[in-house]
């Protein structure tokens, strides 16, 4: 099969054998696979992985083979897959049903081979069937949308949580924006791209801040929040320097939620966090069912977030243009 292999320096297309199917697995013919900030961090050398490795973990496709221990009804189904594989179902976290933190877990496309390939073998417990009205391309948003929903699963909203400032309007930021609006929050978005800001406006955001056009981002956020700062501030920027404004623009006794996985050291004023009793949250993977339902019912829009689609052969071109274009939101590899 054809696969995009990352060797620690570069990505190249190679012909390799199809994965051998274990009894508990299904073989998926990948149809579409999205590029994530995590993939970029790996290619930039900021996030270390074993190599050679097939990257990619936001994907959907058709099941073309099922292992002996898997229900044969899965054959031919259109599916997407969660990313935390190799679950032992017995560790401290598994006993508490926190499977995404299993001590044995290996993430598809990060620890073990992922989806920038014609086929991927995944454990059957990871797969979710797609409703007919959710396309393979739309389904590449299920994983990041689940992560957006998880923000509010790990950070319960209190009666004083009215405003949320979202730093960064990449794919995750724009998904999170929509989920925050669904939760009834007043949303403030901060980004350097007018195109992305206007998309947030289209989704219903009233407070837009272009960080290149205002003198002081924090003052602008205070202007929108009775000079208090935002009740919740979320980082989806992938930019460590944003952390300075993220802490300063959070209300005293407010909440900061970190979503970026850029693999870099970050400057963060912990003393300010302690003195002003700010609570720090973080989260990543989330509930796939909620995300699939949101796409199927249309309460979350993803089609507009697609910036470009490339065939697998041109994956390097796709990664390169991602790096150069400020307005870029989401790239999809069609396989």
State how far the Cα of 58 lies from the Cα of 110, in Å rounded to an integer.
12
Min separation Cβ 107 and Zn ion, Å: 14
Touching Zn ion, residues 78-97 (CB under 5 A): 88, 91, 94
- Residue nearer to Zn ion on the CB measure, 89 or 212: 89
Min separation Cβ 269 and Zn ion, Å: 35
DSSP letters for 26-65: EEEEEEEEE--HHHHHHHTTSS---SSEE---EEEEEEEE
- Residue nearer to Zn ion on the CB measure, 125 or 203: 125
Sheet holding 279-282, edge to edge: 207-210, 186-191, 163-167, 230-235, 250-258, 279-282
Min separation Cβ 235 and Zn ion, Å: 28
Min separation Cβ 94 and Zn ion, Å: 3
- Residue nearer to Zn ion on the CB measure, 47 or 94: 94
Min separation Cβ 291 and Zn ion, Å: 23
- Residue nearer to Zn ion on the CB measure, 73 or 95: 95
* Cβ-contact 248, 255 below 8 angstroms: no
Q: What angle do CA 234, 237, 241 make, to 5 degrees?
A: 100
**Strand extents, DSSP E, the chain:** 2-6, 11-15, 25-34, 53-54, 58-66, 78-81, 84-85, 106-107, 119-123, 127-129, 163-167, 186-191, 207-210, 230-235, 250-258, 279-282, 306-311, 330-334
- Residue nearer to Zn ion on the CB measure, 86 or 219: 86
Min separation Cβ 125 and Zn ion, Å: 12
Structure tokens at 158: 């209190």
Min separation Cβ 159 and Zn ion, Å: 36
Contact map string, positions 98 to 127, toward Zn ion, x by CB under 5 A: ----x-------------------------
State how far the Cα of 185 lies from the Cα of 200, in Å rounded to an integer.
14
- Residue nearer to Zn ion on the CB measure, 33 or 84: 84
- Taking residue 304's Cβ as centre, other Cβ atoms within 10 Å add up to 12
Touching Zn ion, residues 257-316 (CB under 5 A): none
Touching Zn ion, residues 46-85 (CB under 5 A): none
- Residue nearer to Zn ion on the CB measure, 87 or 209: 87
Residue 159, Cβ density class (10 Å: 0-12 exposed, 13-18 middle, ≥19 buried)? exposed
Size of the residue set binding Zn ion (CB under 5 A) = 4
- Positions in the binding site for Zn ion (CB under 5 A): 88, 91, 94, 102
């Amino acid at each position: 099969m054809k696969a995009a292999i990352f060797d620690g320096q570069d990505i190249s297309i190679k012909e390799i054998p199809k994965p051998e199917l274990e009894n508990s697995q299904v073989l998926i013919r990948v149809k579409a696979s999205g590029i994530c900030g995590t993939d970029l961090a790996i290619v930039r050398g900021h996030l270390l992985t074993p190599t050679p490795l097939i990257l990619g973990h936001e994907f959907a496709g058709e099941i073309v083979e099922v292992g002996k221990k898997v229900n044969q009804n899965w054959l031919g189904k259109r599916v997407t897959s969660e990313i935390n594989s190799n679950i032992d179902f017995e560790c401290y976290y598994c006993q508490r049903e926190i499977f995404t933190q299993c001590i044995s877990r290996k993430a598809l496309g990060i620890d073990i081979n992922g989806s920038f390939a014609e086929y991927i073998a995944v454990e059957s417990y990871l797969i979710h069937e797609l409703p007919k009205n959710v396309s393979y391309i739309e389904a590449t948003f299920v994983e990041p949308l689940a992560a957006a929903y998880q923000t509010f699963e790990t950070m319960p909203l209190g009666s004083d949580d009215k405003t949320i400032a979202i730093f960064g309007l990449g794919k995750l930021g724009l998904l999170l924006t929509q989920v925050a609006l669904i939760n009834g929050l007043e949303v403030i978005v901060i980004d350097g791209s007018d195109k992305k800001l206007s998309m947030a406006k289209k989704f219903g955001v009233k407070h837009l801040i272009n960080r290149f056009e205002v003198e002081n981002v924090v003052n602008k956020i205070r202007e929108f929040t009775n000079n208090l700062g935002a009740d919740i501030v979320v980082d989806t920027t992938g930019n460590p320097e944003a952390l300075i404004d993220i802490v300063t623009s959070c209300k005293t006794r407010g909440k900061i939620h970190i979503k970026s996985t850029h693999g870099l050291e970050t400057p963060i004023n912990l003393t300010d966090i302690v003195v002003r009793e700010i609570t720090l949250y973080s989260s990543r993977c989330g509930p796939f069912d909620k995300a699939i339902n949101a796409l199927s019912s249309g309460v979350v829009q993803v089609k507009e977030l697609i910036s470009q689609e490339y065939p697998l052969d041109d994956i390097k071109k796709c990664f390169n243009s991602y790096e150069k274009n400020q307005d870029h939101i989401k790239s999809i590899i069609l396989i």
